């Protein structure tokens, strides 16, 4: 199967996987095997559907590589967040059930672990006027992908916590899911906005971090509630909220660098990335545009460089199954990823109208010298957005990758832009500011 955008769907194409219904949890909008008709194609954009998986001869081997359960898990996550945030906004008695959120994240982790090699499909889900719910679900999904690729770095940063507990991602996921819960009481225009948007009421927007923390204070583990409070802190110290004065420290320094808990640093990247993808969606731009914008100097300095490096390697601009056009004019389908060169994946040439006996063309690694480049994704121009991620990768990230050759090479790397060797004892200790690792 291959993935194509809704605008490129044609009558007669057959769905390879079901499309989860965006408005009814547990239901399919269209079932696998459905033969697309003009009326159905025309209605898909009304439901916020951007792309679908269709059957195509010669690409059956992708069926086992693409995680079929993840779209359903993400849709369920969205609906559950929407229902529970609405209850919190109404201050319904018993609205908050921590165990419920922990189980949601556990289910998502299980789905990602089961499909760890080809789990990533980072298209935003369920665009709706009420952006808060879809944003929270998207950030939780992105954070789980990053957390799984950063387990060793997380353990290193939480060095005062038992390794097994340090690598438990449940509280990271719960905090990510609830990071914007403080927006439930804001005006609709502020609920829909992201950190990169311009806000007429900047103070009102910034208040959501403290409001969310106070709303659930004492009902979450400190690492999860810390995410709600500090997901807008920046690695360069220019984030918010500002630290409060105490009798011990009349003029506290801003939170910066490794003084920010590693969970908050991970959520900060995912939060901005999803905001960028939302902006690109509104402009009709492809996801690669958001990943390219993330690497602007003004944006990069906001983040922990290790987490940033993991993000641009873990979130592919052209996921497996994506239809692309090459600079030599040929059309192809992405069949494998290249973490070191995300914009130069392995593709298989697509022969339009070919018979089952000879369904597809040659396999090509676009990272090899002389290979063509990608110019369009699903017929949208992307050439100006192509990027090369940072060359340096740390030991902690490398150990999370499956490629043993990459691990051996990267184990001696230095922390990106920090000048401190990854194994150095002089690296700053991680802290949440609350004494918890």
Determine if residue 270 is left, alpha or beta; phi over 0 gives left, psi from -120 to 50 gives alpha, anything else beta.
Answer: alpha
pLDDT of residue 403: 37
State the pTM of this model.
Answer: 0.80
pLDDT of residue 247: 57
The answer to whether the beta carbons of residues 44 and 6 sit under 8 Å apart is yes
pLDDT of residue 246: 58
What CA–CA distance (Å, rounded) separates 120 from 123? Answer: 9
The full set of domain ranges for the chain reads 2-63, 96-314, 322-385
Q: Which two tokens stand for residue 345?
A: 């994946």
pLDDT tens-place string over residues 160-201: 998 888 889 999 999 999 999 999 888 888 888 887 777 767
Q: Which two tokens stand for residue 432?
A: 């949440």
The answer to whether the beta carbons of residues 361 and 351 sit under 8 Å apart is yes
Strand pairing category for 51-54 and 323-326? unpaired
pLDDT tens-place string over residues 104-125: 888 877 777 766 554 455 556 5
CATH code given to domain 96-314: 1.10.3210.10
Comparing 2-63 with 96-314, is the CATH topology the same? no
Q: What angle do CA 118, 119, 124 make, to 5 degrees?
A: 125
**Which of helix, strand or coil describes residue 362?**
strand
DSSP 375-416: EEETTEE-GGG-----S---HHHHTTSS-HHHHHHHTT-B-T
Measured CA to CA in angstroms, residue 26 lies from 49, 75, 239 at distances of 16, 8, 39
DSSP 96-135: --HHHHHHHHHHHHHHHHHTTTS----------S-HHHHH
Measured CA to CA in angstroms, residue 206 lies from 38, 109, 180, 237 at distances of 45, 30, 11, 16
What CA–CA distance (Å, rounded) separates 87 from 91? Answer: 6
Counting as low any pLDDT under 70, the low residues of the chain are 63-75, 90-95, 114-130, 200, 245-251, 351-360, 391-437
**Which of helix, strand or coil describes residue 213?**
helix
Q: Which long-range contacts (CB under 8 A, 24 or more apart) does 421-429 make?
A: 422/394, 422/395, 422/396, 423/395, 427/258, 428/257, 428/258, 428/259, 429/159, 429/160, 429/258
pLDDT tens-place string over residues 319-354: 888 999 999 999 999 998 888 899 999 999 986 544
* Tally of CB atoms within 10 A around 152: 18
Quick one: which of 221, 181, 169 has its CA closest to 81? 181
pLDDT of residue 202: 81
Q: Would you state the CATH architecture of domain 2-63?
A: Alpha-Beta Complex (3.90)
pLDDT of residue 179: 96
What CA–CA distance (Å, rounded) separates 140 from 40? Answer: 30
């Amino acid at each position: 199967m291959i993935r194509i955008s809704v605008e490129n769907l044609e009558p007669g194409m057959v769905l390879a996987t079901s499309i989860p219904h965006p408005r009814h949890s547990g239901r399919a909008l269209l079932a696998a095997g459905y033969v697309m008709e003009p009326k159905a194609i025309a209605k898909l954009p009304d439901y916020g559907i951007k792309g679908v998986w269709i059957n195509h001869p010669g690409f059956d081997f992708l069926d086992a590589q693409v995680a079929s359960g993840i779209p359903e898990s993400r849709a369920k996550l969205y609906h559950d967040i929407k229902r529970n945030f609405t209850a919190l906004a109404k201050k319904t008695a018993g609205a908050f059930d921590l165990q419920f959120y922990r189980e949601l994240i556990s289910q998502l982790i299980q789905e990602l672990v089961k499909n760890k090699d080809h789990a990533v499909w980072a298209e935003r889900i369920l665009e709706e006027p009420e952006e808060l719910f879809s944003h929270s679900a998207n950030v939780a999904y992105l954070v789980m992908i990053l957390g799984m690729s950063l387990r060793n770095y997380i353990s290193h940063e939480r060095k005062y916590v038992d390794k097994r507990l340090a690598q438990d991602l449940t509280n990271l996921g719960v905090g990510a899911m609830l990071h914007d819960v403080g927006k439930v009481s804001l005006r609709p225009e502020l609920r829909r906005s992201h950190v990169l948007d311009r806000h007429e009421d900047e103070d009102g927007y910034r208040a959501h971090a403290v409001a969310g923390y106070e709303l659930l204070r004492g009902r979450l583990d400190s690492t999860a509630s810390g995410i709600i409070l500090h997901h807008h802190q920046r690695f360069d110290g220019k984030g918010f909220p500002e630290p409060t004065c105490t009798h011990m420290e009349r003029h506290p320094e801003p939170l910066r660098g490794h003084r920010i808990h590693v969970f908050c640093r991970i959520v900060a990247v995912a939060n901005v990335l999803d905001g960028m993808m939302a902006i690109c969606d509104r402009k009709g731009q492809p996801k690669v545009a958001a990943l390219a914008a993330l690497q602007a100097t003004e944006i990069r300095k906001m983040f922990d460089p290790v987490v940033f490096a993991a993000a641009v390697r873990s979130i592919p601009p052209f996921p497996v199954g994506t239809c692309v056009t090459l600079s030599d004019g040929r059309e192809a389908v992405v069949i494998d990823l290249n973490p070191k060169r995300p914009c130069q994946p392995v593709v298989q040439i697509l022969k339009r109208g070919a018979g089952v006996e000879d369904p597809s063309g040659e396999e090509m690694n676009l990272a090899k010298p002389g290979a063509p480049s990608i110019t369009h994704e699903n017929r949208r121009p992307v050439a100006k957005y192509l990027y090369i991620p940072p060359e340096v990768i740390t030991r902690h990230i490398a150990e999370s990758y499956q490629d043993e050759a990459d691990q051996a090479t990267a184990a001696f790397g230095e922390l990106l832009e920090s000048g401190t060797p990854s194994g150095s004892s002089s690296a700053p200790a991680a802290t949440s500011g609350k004494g918890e690792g």
